[in-house]
Amino acid sequence: MTEPKMDKGGATHQQADQRDETMTTAQGGPIADDQNSLTAGSRGPVLMEDHIMREKIFHFDHERIPERVVHARGYGVHGHFELTKAIPELSCADIFQREGEKTPLFARFSTVAGSKGSFDVARDVRGFAVKFYTGEGNWDLVGNNIPVFFIQDAIKFPDLVHSVKPAPDRNFPQAQSAHDNFWDFISLTPESIHTTLWTMSDRAIPRSLRFMEGFGVHTFRLVNADDKSHFVKFHWKPKQGLQSVVWNEALKINGADPDFHRRDMWAAIDSGDYPQWDLGIQVFDDDFADEFEFDILDPTKLIPEEQVPVQIIGTMTLDNTVDNFFAETEQVAFCTQNIVRGIDFTNDPLLQGRNFSYLDTQTKRLGGPNFTHIPINAPKCPMNHFQQDGHMAMHNPKGRANYEPNSWGDDGGPRENPEIGFTSYSERVQGDKQRTRSETFADHYSQARQFYVSQTKTEQNHIAAAYTFELSKCEHEHIRLRMLSHLMNVHDDLANAVAKGLGYTDMPDAAKPARKPITDLPASDALSILKNGPDSFAGRKLGLFLTDGADANLVNKIETTFTDAGAKVAIIAPHIAGVKLSDGTMKAADETIDGGPSVLFDAVALIFSANAGEELARNKPAQDFVSDAFAHAKFIAWTDASTPLFEAVGVAGKLDDGILKLNNDNVAGFLKMCEGLRYWARDAS
């Protein structure tokens, strides 16, 4: 028998040929499974000995300095949390014990894919992270404005982010998912389909950070003083209601004001219109978890509020901007591992990986292990430990003892305290070491369908249009067709609408599901934006376009009526010096017509003098002001003098119930109209 020939590295030629195509670790070791972390049993915790997962995420966490790899473009605000319903029967966490008590906090909102210099209104998931400075240590609730995630196992997170980031050869596109790499990955990862329904919905293009929900995403545990555990999902419900923009509007906002969201948050707090969210919890036990249609450890799934209602236990108020953006917003370090006694983790494999990843990331970004010495990260309760030295150490243990146990008595430093110290919930864990995905994670389409049928027809149209736009940016047809094959498992109406938008008449075969989808899950109204919009115009903005000679009484009545209702009124004029009203008074302008397009406002009104309309009918920014407001289904108020401008853009012959001819008697009626967000009948037409 002939012995195989060896190459210089000691491998046979056959082995060497195989290695040319085999994925390896950075140390050169071939990888058998790059899809699943090593767990104790199919639903057990991720094991620390998983050197492949740790190396992969470790390298990913260290790819950028000093900018965050993801969530780089963020905006932070100070505030407080007031407990309105104590829950000692569910949790012994200090923050949940005393009704009326206020806990200081810092919240940071962010886009995921874009760099620090990208624009605000990208189609993207929004980070929604809150650091509570509780009496027993910091608790970081690090979530998103979408309750589900793209992947089930943290080992795939580097792949997901690499796919959506600028391609490594050409370094574009920036802050966009509309390209081949992203949809190639998604179409090969069916577990991502549910979340893409959310990101193709208007949830991914919020009107404001103030008008979006927040979610903890994962299932956590609440543990009471008797070591009794309940599962919990965390929700942030905006008191302002939900509101988004439309896609064409988002594109134009990014051109007119790439800082639209951060400017909006700053202006609201600066004017005393403090944004508020209610903190809600979905609490359930092991019996519900066993009976639920899906695995509660699967981060690509949610629990409908109709099945487990959200209990409101407190309110977050954001009432103070930062003193210095870098010192606070840029240096704040959120870590999912930062929990307090009374809150604990579950075996969600994505959460377990995040617990490793976030600490590693912050250590890299902020220069070492002492980022907790930075004021924005430091707890506001007493800190006592033996950790010392390291880069940028601001304080070290006093005295001779820097170890424990020691026998130095009162001079020996802090001691452990079993009575109030953190203890993990005593869950029984056993199983074979393996790289596998639990069969209970295998349904990838049922909740995506449920989300789709829960939307209004307007929202469904927007989802189909978003898929069509994104996939039209894919150069390779096989990627577009592969995505269509997945959408066919979600809903025929959605798949057919996207196919029509892309110009396909012959549909591909539907993708073979790992588990047969459930097609009769009931609609959930909580999943719709339009079913949960604001009930007033408070906190929103009217663009009031004026010219010299505008009716002073009408202008003043509009300003008074809208500001008394808690809205903002911005004056737009041909010149920044403002306009002289009909009574001779000057009205200062906030924006010129070429710097204040209608995309920046929630509704618009035009009050011109007798001859101004004819002149503005030849003004392109003025034309865009009206045509965009009309195209984006906004409520519009106007006076007769505006007619030439309406005629110039073809709106005069399309007046509908969302357009009101304004006079002194119907200003309150216009305000009432504007409470309805948009005139969606125009959008549908």
pLDDT for 140-160, tens place per residue?
999 999 999 999 999 999 999
651, 627 in Cβ contact below 8 A?
yes
238, 212 in Cβ contact below 8 A?
yes
* Dist. CA 559–CA 569, nearest whole Å: 6
Model confidence pLDDT, tens digit, residues 462-508 = 999 999 999 999 999 999 999 999 999 999 999 999 999 999 999 99
pLDDT (mean) for 21-32: 80
Model confidence pLDDT, tens digit, residues 405-416 = 999 988 898 988
Identify the band that residue 3 occupies on the pLDDT scale cut at 50, 70 and 90.
Answer: very low
79, 209 in Cβ contact below 8 A?
no
391 is catalytic: no
The helix (run of H) or strand (run of E) holding residue 317 is strand 311-321
244, 200 in Cβ contact below 8 A?
no
Q: How many residues does the chain have?
A: 685
Which residues, at least 6 apart from 207, have a Cβ–Cβ distance to it below 8 Å? 243, 244, 245, 602
Which residues, at least 6 apart from 245, have a Cβ–Cβ distance to it below 8 Å? 121, 202, 205, 206, 207, 253, 599, 632
- pLDDT exceeds cutoff 90 at 685: no
Top-confidence residue, 580 or 28? 580
144 is catalytic: yes
Region of 243 please: left (phi>0), alpha (psi -120 to 50) or beta: beta
* Dist. CA 183–CA 473, nearest whole Å: 10
pLDDT at 27: 79
Model confidence pLDDT, tens digit, residues 602-622 = 999 999 999 899 999 999 999
Model confidence pLDDT, tens digit, residues 260-315 = 999 999 999 999 999 999 999 999 999 999 999 999 999 999 999 999 999 999 99
Question: Which residue out of 71, 261, 462, 632 is catalytically annotated?
Answer: 71
Identify the band that residue 684 occupies on the pLDDT scale cut at 50, 70 and 90.
Answer: confident
CB atoms within 10 A of CB 586: 11
141, 232 in Cβ contact below 8 A?
no
Q: Where are the domains of the chain?
A: 51-149+206-373, 384-416, 535-684
- pLDDT exceeds cutoff 60 at 94: yes
Top-confidence residue, 361 or 121? 121
| Radius of gyration, CA atoms only, the chain | 28
pLDDT at 1: 41
Residue from 175, 181, 179 nearest 163 by CA = 181
Percent of the chain whose predicted confidence (pLDDT) is above 70: 97
Q: Which of 53-62, 490-499, 591-600 has the lowest mean pLDDT?
A: 53-62
Identify the band that residue 48 occupies on the pLDDT scale cut at 50, 70 and 90.
Answer: confident
* Dist. CA 130–CA 315, nearest whole Å: 13
pLDDT at 20: 66
Question: Which residue out of 36, 138, 144, 145 is catalytically annotated?
Answer: 144
pLDDT at 6: 46
Which CATH class name applies to 51-149+206-373?
mainly beta
pLDDT at 65: 56
242, 529 in Cβ contact below 8 A?
yes
User: How many CA atoms lie less than 13 Å away from 621 in the CB half-sphere?
Assistant: 13
Model confidence pLDDT, tens digit, residues 352-398 = 999 999 999 998 899 888 999 999 999 999 888 888 888 888 888 88
pLDDT (mean) for 629-656: 95
219, 231 in Cβ contact below 8 A?
yes
* Dist. CA 547–CA 625, nearest whole Å: 14
139, 338 in Cβ contact below 8 A?
yes
Which CATH class name applies to 535-684?
alpha beta
Tokens standing for residue 90: 């569910």
- pLDDT exceeds cutoff 60 at 11: no
Residue 390: C-alpha distances to residues 326, 372, 396 (Å): 22, 12, 10
* Dist. CA 384–CA 427, nearest whole Å: 29
Cβ-in-10-Å burial (0-12, 13-18, 19+) of 281 comes to buried
The model carries a pTM of 0.92
Identify the band that residue 19 occupies on the pLDDT scale cut at 50, 70 and 90.
Answer: low
pLDDT at 122: 98
Q: Which of 17-31, 76-90, 187-201, 337-351 has the lowest mean pLDDT?
A: 17-31
